[in-house]
Amino acid sequence: MDYDFLIIGGGIAGVSCAARLASAGKVLLVEAEANLAHHASGRSAALYEPRYGLGPVVALSLASSEYFHSAPDVLSPRGMMIVAKANERAAFDADSAGMALEQISLEQARQIVPILNPETVAHVALADHAWDIDTDLLLQGFARQARSHGAEIVTKAEVLAIDRDGAGWRVTTQQGAFTARVVINASGAWADVVAGMAGVTPLGFTPLRRSMARIPAPGGLDISRWPMIFGAGETWYSKPDAGALIVSPAEEDLTTPHDAFADDMVLAEGLARYEEMVTEPVTRMLANWAGLRTFSPDRVPVIGFDAQAPGFFWLAGQGGYGFQSAPAASQLAADLLTDTASVIEADVIAALAPSRFA
């Protein structure tokens, strides 16, 4: 075999896994695009809020805390705020409790975000346990770690075929064919496509589009210290970004694996929901884009060996939690691939295992 481990997918999942595995064997990562993190990983809202998500996701995100807080300059303070109308109290309470936010008065909230609309905002909650992630710094750090331990990363290497090759696999790409003992499917929205190419039963991943708009700083204000703001029930969100504000309708529109782009009508509807809660209108967009958040049927990531296909490993379905869970998810993947004891609890590992769909 040419390699011990062949990783398909150059997003944060694949690159972090390559970094963790590189010292344990010969590793090759292949990415279809010319650059790493071209798709979902390159279009992330880039927030580390470890209490955001379902139980197994939260467990991975919390287990990633030590890595994040010890990595120089990867995190910077942001904070999180939830705002709600009077008739959204149930969703507001659920969100606040789930992510451990503390309710504050509208007057206190307007001291932080002065454009909140007193005629529509009835409830506000705030927490400081949320941080911006420098996603490029995190990704490139993992890539450097992988390469420094001998891992190879090949771009412009779309996978064309995957076949059994004795006890391992033969993966044919645009850059040639490679053999490996284990194939790791970290291909994001294409996870089921890659599985099908390998003759492995797809698990039912669903790519969901999420759009973003970048708008000028409202009212020309200094927004650099504003928190990320969610509408109750995650009906929209906003976040400062390089002197501007990104606003998302937080939609989850089912689509197919592709290079996603924003839907103008969906963006307009989301911007209207945002505008309803603030006093400054949106007068223009600076840019817009979309990414695909890919989920398994139970919306929990899938990490582990396929139950029926020896040597085929799933690392997929991170949804919108890929960056914030990557340090722990990649370490768990490496532990499972090398039969090493993990610090992750056994019940969490079972909840992430692909065998739950068998």
Residue type, 357: F
Q: CA-CA distance, 275 to 269, in Å (whole number)?
A: 10
CA distance 130 to 235: 19
Domain over 3-45+135-204+297-357 is classified CATH 3.30.70.150:
no
**Torsion angles phi and psi, residue 75, rounded to 5:** -105, 150
Say what the pLDDT of residue 151 is: 98
Residues of the chain with pLDDT under 50: none
pLDDT digits (tens, 9 = 90+) for 117-159: 999 999 999 999 999 999 999 999 999 999 999 999 999 999 9
List phi, psi (to 5°) of 113: -125, 90
- All CATH 3.30.9.10 domain ranges of the chain, comma separated, are 80-127+206-295
Cα 285 from chain centre: 24
Q: What is the largest CA-CA distance in the chain?
A: 68
- Asked if 300 and 317 touch (Cβ cutoff 8 Å), the reply is yes
Q: Which helix (H) or strand (E) holds 327?
A: helix 322-337
The single-letter DSSP state of residue 40 is G
Q: Indicate the class that CATH gives domain 80-127+206-295.
A: alpha beta
| Burial of 274 from C-beta contacts in 10 A (0-12 / 13-18 / 19+) | buried
Say how far apart CA 202 and CA 193 lie, in whole Å.
8
Q: Where in the chain is the domain with CATH 3.50.50.60?
A: 3-45+135-204+297-357
What is the per-residue pLDDT for 136? 94
Tell which phi-psi region holds residue 242, choosing left (phi > 0), alpha (psi between -120 and 50) or beta.
left
> Helix crossing, 55-63 with 322-337: angle to 10°?
80
**pLDDT value of position 45:** 77
Q: How far apart are CA 278 and CA 109, in angstroms?
A: 12
Please give the pLDDT value at position 358: 82
pLDDT in tens, 46-66: 899 999 999 999 999 999 999
- Six-digit token pair at 11? 């997003």
Token digits of residue 164: 């059994």
What are the tens digits of pLDDT across the range 197-208?
A: 999 999 999 999
The model carries a pTM of 0.95
Residue 70's CB: how many other CB atoms inside 10 A?
A: 10
